[in-house]
Amino acid sequence: MNIVIVASKTCRHHPILQRQIQDLGLSCTIQYIEEHPELIGKYGIRSSPNIVVDDELIFQGKPGKSLPSSSELKECFGIQ
């Protein structure tokens, strides 16, 4: 499973999300939209952070929306 957090460099939430994913025993990479602007159009990104798994957007951050909980992440990743 290829997990990528797509975020802006100024996003305060992507380190928290990265830690949540790592706490589940999974690894992830971070791609910054400033360095990969093509991801904005590819995934329809409008805010940060976002989670892409195997080239599919599974979580899209939005202003006022909280980060996914550990149980929500487990469900997204198919972990019991």
- Residue 7: beta bridge partners? 32
Angle between helix 70-77 and 14-23 (nearest 10):
70
- Tens of pLDDT, residue by residue over 26-64, are 999 999 999 999 999 999 999 999 999 999 999 998 888
Number of domains in the chain: 1
**Which pLDDT score, from 0 to 100, does residue 76 have?**
87
Q: What pTM does this model have?
A: 0.92
Q: Phi-psi bin for 24: left (phi > 0), alpha (psi -120 to 50), beta?
A: alpha
Contacts with 73 (C-beta within 8 Å, 6 or more apart), sequence order: 20, 21, 24, 79
**Which pLDDT score, from 0 to 100, does residue 65 have?**
81
Measure the CA–CA gap between 46 and 8, rounded to whole angstroms: 10
Q: What is the CATH number of the domain that holds 9?
A: 3.40.30.10
Residue 23 belongs to domain spanning: 3-77
pLDDT tier at 6 (50, 70, 90 boundaries)? Answer: very high
